[in-house]
Amino acid sequence: MHAGTPGPALFELGNRWRETYPGASAGILVLRGVRNPSGEPSLEESKRGLEIELRARYAGFSRADLRALPVIRAYEAYYRRFGDTYHVLLQLESVVLKGKPLPHATTLVEAMFMAELSDLLLTAGHDLSTLALPVRIEIAEGHERYTLLNGREQTLKAGDMHMADGLGVISSVLYGPDVRTRITPETRDVLYAVYAPPGIEPEAVAVHLDRIEAYVRLAAPDARCELKAVYPAG
């Protein structure tokens, strides 16, 4: 794991983010030369194995028990400030309590979803070629707008962590990634960004980045890791 001050060419830490959320951290993983097929057999096998593992790990858990997990508590504390619920908790409930399968998607998106459910850490994925670097993590003032994956225009809530490039917002904690920089079947270079609120150790973010990379390499073993780093707010 690399931790420290990000280089100016790729990622920047906003001062308001540092001041507002001491104890938070951000994780960045950049992989080049990836593939993004749908239905990659090795990843599908791992996905089925993860479903079994999660149901065994949380066997006998109630919804209240899941909400009491330390990682979930940290995110719920963040979301509660905005009157919201952590959506990864809802996805975990779907798989563990309701027995539903993980959703089907292309390899780069499935790798992210699988790691999210394994580690419970909020992650956004972007096509690196669409980004006007550097990407910057900051705190919303409440007027910033961007277009979500579903095509809807969204105004950020004041105080929400978000990331933006030179052209605008690319993701936020409350509303997820944008449509402009979305991962597509043609994506060959990818950037994953992890939002970790106070209460999540940087070491957990590092493990999460390793897990995403391992899943991606099931479909793209020759992918090149350009950056894998965790940046504490301070």
pLDDT at 98 over 80: yes
pLDDT at 1 over 90: no
pLDDT at 6: 54
For residue range 29-86, list pLDDT tens digits in order: 999 999 999 989 999 999 999 999 999 999 999 999 999 999 999 999 999 999 999 9
Structure tokens at 231: 């940046």
The answer to whether the peptide bond before residue 70 is cis (omega within 30 degrees of 0) is no
Average of per-residue pLDDT across 171-183: 98
Buried b (16+ CB within 10 A) or exposed e, 85-100: ebebbebbbebbeeee
Average pLDDT, the chain: 95
Which residues make Cβ contacts (< 8 Å) with residue 207, sequence separation at least 6? 119
How far is the C-alpha of 28 from the C-alpha of 33, rounded, in Å?
17
Average of per-residue pLDDT across 179-191: 98
**227 strand-pairing partners:** 30
Average of per-residue pLDDT across 98-117: 96
Burial class (CB in 10 A: 0-12, 13-18, 19+), 69: middle
CATH classification (class only), 2-232? alpha beta
Angle at 75 between CA 70 and CA 79, to 5 degrees: 145
pLDDT at 53: 98
Task: Round to the nearest angstrom and report the end-to-end CA distance of the chain.
Answer: 17
Average of per-residue pLDDT across 72-101: 96
- DSSP secondary structure letters along 31-97: EES----BS-HHHHHHHHHHHHHHHHHTTT--HHHHHTSHHHHHHHHHHHTTT---HHHHHHHHHHT
For residue range 190-234, list pLDDT tens digits in order: 999 999 999 999 999 999 999 999 999 999 999 999 999 999 998
**H helices present in the chain, as ranges:** 15-20, 41-57, 63-67, 70-80, 87-96, 107-119, 202-219
Q: For residue 9, name the pLDDT band (cuts at 50, 70, 90).
A: confident
Show me where the domains of the chain are located.
Answer: 2-232
Q: What percent of the chain has pLDDT over 70?
A: 97
